[in-house]
């Protein structure tokens, strides 16, 4: 499973082979990923056989929606861990949403992953293999009406990336240094894991930081996001401002809209004022309902009203479409359907 070895150490997998063989392998794994070892045509068959299996997981399920413009994979690691990734095609770009953990310890009430609890961290190899798999898939199966190149990677699948810092950092390093992806096209989404936000600000890469805020006051936020008791909103705003200062990158605020919870005029005004303070861009998305939560998405009209209020108060807002409604595409939902209910 060569993705579990650092790209600089690949020679260790190849025995006494000359060093150009490791370069060739690195090329197939990172620059031009292929779905099958047999496509690594310039490597001798005996060498390829020694590298099998290529992927650190099997593809348990591949679902398509939105006319082939959304593809969701459920990968299965040899220890039984489920890993989800979603590929989304748009006219100007293709974005991959990847997982950083199996499950999540943060317990946000509205999130299917949070409802399952934490199982384990993903390794750097398991994270980067999701990116490589999507790139390889895209080469063989272009998405209708989208570029064939993987443009953006977002850490918005299962898990809290900044609570699995080392492996997430190494996966970002491989994307930027070995896959030649632009750091700007990589988004790390966090629920507000403060120590990780501070560390990320010290890294050399200008990645995009997305802060999943969802509520503009601590009372409401700690009902939705238990971690808010440890790292309250003011501290998160300070950390986001520091990130913006050192990186010169606009922070994004994520806001999952729930009917009667965080879709009120008061929340809209308070959100706009936080966004103005940070000069942040706001992404609003209507809740994708999950089986274990009573929260519901607002009506389309209420979503539009909320967005208009935030815009009128001076903030920069995008209403994100909920992709893959038919295929359980919200955070952790494919897995939630496949696995036994938590006890
Ligand atoms: N743990 C990180 C990244 C993974 S979650 C974080 O929380 O930011 C990625 C995004 O999906 C977050 O903004 C999260 O709030 C959102 N999300 C989780 N469950 C959702 C649901 N049921 N419907 C819509 N968005 C959801
Ligand atoms: Fe974890 Fe993010 Fe889901 Fe919260 S929203 S439980 S931090 S994955």
- What percent of the chain shows pLDDT beyond 70? 94
- Overall average pLDDT of the 224-241 stretch: 98
The answer to whether the CB of 24 falls within 8 A of the CB of 18 is no
If one residue of 189, 286, 332, 334 were mutated to test the ligand 1 pocket, choosing by the most ligand atoms within 8 A of its CB, it would be 189
- Overall average pLDDT of the 139-161 stretch: 95
Strands 186-190 and 94-97: unpaired
**Could you tell me which residue, 323 or 4, shows the higher pLDDT?**
4
Which residue among the candidates 97, 104, 111, 331 is catalytic per the annotation?
331
Q: How many other C-beta atoms are found inside a 10 Å radius of the C-beta of residue 91? A: 8
Residue 104 annotated to the active site = no
What pLDDT does 228 receive?
A: 98
Q: Please say if the pLDDT value at position 342 is more than 60.
A: no
pLDDT tens, position by position, 275-321: 999 999 999 999 999 888 899 999 999 999 999 999 999 999 999 87
pLDDT tens, position by position, 181-193: 999 999 999 999 9
Whether ligand 2 lies within 6 angstroms of the CB of 188 is answered as no
Distance 289 CA to ligand 2 centre (A): 14
- pTM, full prediction: 0.95
Q: Please say if the pLDDT value at position 267 is more than 80.
A: yes
Q: How far apart are CA 286 and CA 213, in angstroms?
A: 14
Distance 301 CA to ligand 2 centre (A): 27
- Overall average pLDDT of the 113-119 stretch: 92
- Overall average pLDDT of the 113-141 stretch: 96
What pLDDT does 31 receive?
A: 97
Give DSSP secondary structure letters for 9-22: GGGGGSTT--HHHH
Whether ligand 2 lies within 6 angstroms of the CB of 307 is answered as no
The answer to whether the CB of 218 falls within 8 A of the CB of 224 is no
Per the DSSP assignment, residues forming a β-bridge with 103 are 118
- Overall average pLDDT of the 70-80 stretch: 97
Place 323 in a pLDDT band, splitting at 50, 70 and 90.
confident
Distances (CA, A) of 152 to 57, 147, 192, 210, 259: 22, 12, 22, 14, 30
Sketch out the chain's domains with CATH numbers: 1-54 (no CATH), 58-340 (3.20.20.70)
- Overall average pLDDT of the 6-28 stretch: 96
Which residue among the candidates 84, 119, 126, 160 is catalytic per the annotation?
84
Q: How far apart are CA 51 and CA 53, in angstroms?
A: 6
Q: How many other C-beta atoms are found inside a 10 Å radius of the C-beta of residue 41? A: 9
Backbone angles phi, psi at 223, to 5 degrees: -75, -30
Task: Show the tokens assigned to 3.
Answer: 């993705």
- Of residues 250, 245, 307, 313, the one with CA closest to residue 279: 250
Q: Which ligand is nearest to the CA of 160?
A: 1
How big is the CA angle at 92 (ends 87 and 97), to the nearest 5 degrees?
A: 20
Residue 84 annotated to the active site = yes
Distance 36 CA to ligand 1 centre (A): 32
- The mean-pLDDT minimum among 173-177, 188-192, 323-327 falls in 323-327
Distance 97 CA to ligand 1 centre (A): 11
- What percent of the chain shows pLDDT beyond 90? 89
């Amino acid at each position: 499973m060569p993705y579990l070895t650092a790209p600089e150490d690949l020679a260790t997998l190849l025995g006494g082979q000359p060093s150009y063989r490791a370069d060739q392998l690195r090329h197939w794994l990172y620059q031009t990923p292929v779905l099958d070892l047999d496509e690594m045509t310039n490597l001798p068959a005996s060498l390829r056989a020694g590298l099998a299996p290529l992927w650190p997981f099997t593809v348990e399920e591949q679902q398509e929606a939105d006319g082939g413009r959304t593809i969701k994979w459920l990968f299965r690691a040899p220890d039984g861990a489920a890993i989800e990734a979603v590929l989304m095609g748009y006219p100007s770009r293709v974005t991959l949403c990847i997982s950083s953990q199996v499950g999540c310890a943060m317990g946000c009430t509205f999130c299917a992953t949070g409802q399952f609890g934490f199982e384990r961290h993903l390794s750097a190899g398991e994270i980067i293999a999701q990116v490589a798999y999507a790139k390889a898939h895209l080469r063989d199966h272009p998405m209708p009406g989208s570029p064939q190149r993987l443009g953006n990677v977002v850490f918005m699948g299962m898990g809290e990336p900044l609570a699995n810092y080392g492996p997430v950092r190494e996966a970002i390093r491989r994307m930027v240094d070995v896959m030649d992806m632009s750091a700007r096209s990589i988004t790390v989404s966090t629920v507000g894991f403060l120590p990780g936000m501070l560390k990320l600000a010290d890294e050399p890469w200008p990645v995009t930081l997305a802060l999943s805020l969802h509520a503009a006051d601590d009372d409401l936020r700690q009902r939705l996001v238990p971690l808010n008791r440890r790292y309250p909103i003011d501290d998160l705003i300070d950390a986001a401002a520091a990130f913006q200062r050192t990186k010169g990158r606009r922070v994004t605020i994520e806001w999952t809209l729930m009917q009667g919870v965080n879709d009120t005029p008061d929340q809209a005004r308070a959100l706009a004022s936080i966004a103005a303070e940070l000069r942040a861009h706001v992404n609003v998305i209507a809740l994708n309902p999950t089986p274990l939560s009573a929260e519901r998405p607002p009506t389309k009209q209420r979503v539009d009203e909320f967005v208009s209020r935030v815009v009128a108060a001076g903030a920069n807002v995008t209403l994100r479409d909920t992709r893959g409604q038919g295929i359980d595409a919200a955070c952790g939902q494919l897995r939630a359907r496949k696995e036994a209910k938590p006890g």
